[in-house]
Amino acid sequence: RSKKAGHNKMGILSNAPQGFASAVAALNSLPKGILSEMCQDVVAYLQHQAPFFAVEQYALTIETLGLDPQPDAQACVNALVFLFRLAASEKLSADALVSELKSSMEWSDAVLAVVSHTWKEQGPALSALPSDTLSEGKLVSMDWKLATAISSSGCRSLNSPYVSLRLRVAEPTGDSRLHTVELSIAEFQNFAAQLREMASTMETIA
């Protein structure tokens, strides 16, 4: 892939979403262990091995690190989802991906090493998926209900309340898939807070 002389942004990231550069800076500040786990979880999410990404767990972990400024967990996850989805659609090898990232001069060596390791292991499988699998679906409907656990599990205690979300998503293939997610009250409150933040942001750019 040719690059223009003096251009400090890689070609495949020319259409990166707003805030991507700040998200990369946040990724650069994360410890290797957390970043590696986040990369693995993002790949699993893109392979549809995990229907829902629990960003709040990463947010809580990052908060305990006492970093200043504190990295935005959601921004980090969004950046990795964008990066790996793009790398898969372009069918880049690990070496090609790292070479492209290096050209932007925004990524630390530590992050490049983790990304390279993750993509060497998981990239071929993700790149082999049909292109429509990597495309984003559209939310058709969302239903929810409040319930109480009648049996204990690793996710919730007996008799504890939880929220069940049913998300119907229209896939690029034309089919629709129903995703069911169970959240504790605390997780649902965090989810609702993120939705309010999204709505507030959308109002500023509408």
**Phi/psi of residue 89, each to 5°?**
-65, -30
pLDDT for the residue 121:
93
Greatest mean pLDDT among 61-70, 89-98, 107-116: 107-116
pLDDT for the residue 53:
65
E strand spans, the chain: 138-148, 161-170, 176-184
pLDDT band at 150 (very low <50, low <70, confident <90, very high): low
Q: Computed over its alpha carbons, how large is the radius of gyration of the chain?
A: 19
Answer for the pair 83, 121: CB distance below 8 angstroms, yes or no.
no
Q: What is the Cα–Cα distance from 168 to 137, expressed in whole angstroms?
A: 10
pLDDT band at 6 (very low <50, low <70, confident <90, very high): very low
pLDDT for the residue 2:
37
Give residue-wise pLDDT tens across range 161-204. Answer: 888 888 887 765 456 778 788 888 888 888 888 888 878 777 77
Q: What is the dihedral of CA 48, 50, 176, 178, to 10 degrees?
A: 160
**CA proximity to 80, closest of 104, 55, 102, 103:** 55
Q: Whole-model pTM?
A: 0.63
